[in-house]
Amino acid sequence: MKTIAFVIGFLTVMAIAAPRIAATDPEPMGAEASLYLFGFLLMVICAPVFHFSVARRSVPCGWFVALCVGLLFSSIFYSAAASASPALSLAIVILAGYLASALVSWVVLRLFRLLPNN
């Protein structure tokens, strides 16, 4: 259930952000397809990592927290993609999104471990 909530949060931001970011591109259809593809690839990587890290560490987060983490992961990735300048290559932006998502997952899980009654 937590992983499904994570994916729903991720897909929500993807559905909202990708068309808006692609609208400024000279070829919006191709840019939108690329953003959906890279977002899907990020989700395919991050959802199992989130699932196994929550299950392995016995982090007591509910579906709402998982939904918020999914929203946060996707927001970080798409904000990195939206703020990319033409001087940066897309690979650097994708790598920055992956690294930011990994850092956020580590910090969020550490914060849940610090809560009382864990």
Per-residue pLDDT tens over the stretch 6-39:
788 888 888 888 888 777 777 878 888 888 887 8
Per-domain boundaries in the chain: 2-114
Angle at 28 (CA atoms; ends 23, 29), nearest 5 degrees: 135
pLDDT computed for residue 59 by the predictor: 59
The Cα 10–Cα 40 span in angstroms is 9
How is 4-62 classified by DSSP, letter by letter? HHHHHHHHHHHHHHHHHHHTTSSSHHHHHHHHHHHHHHHHHHHHHHHHHHHHHHT----
User: Whole-model pTM?
Assistant: 0.61
The Cα 54–Cα 109 span in angstroms is 8
Q: What is the CA radius of gyration of the chain?
A: 15
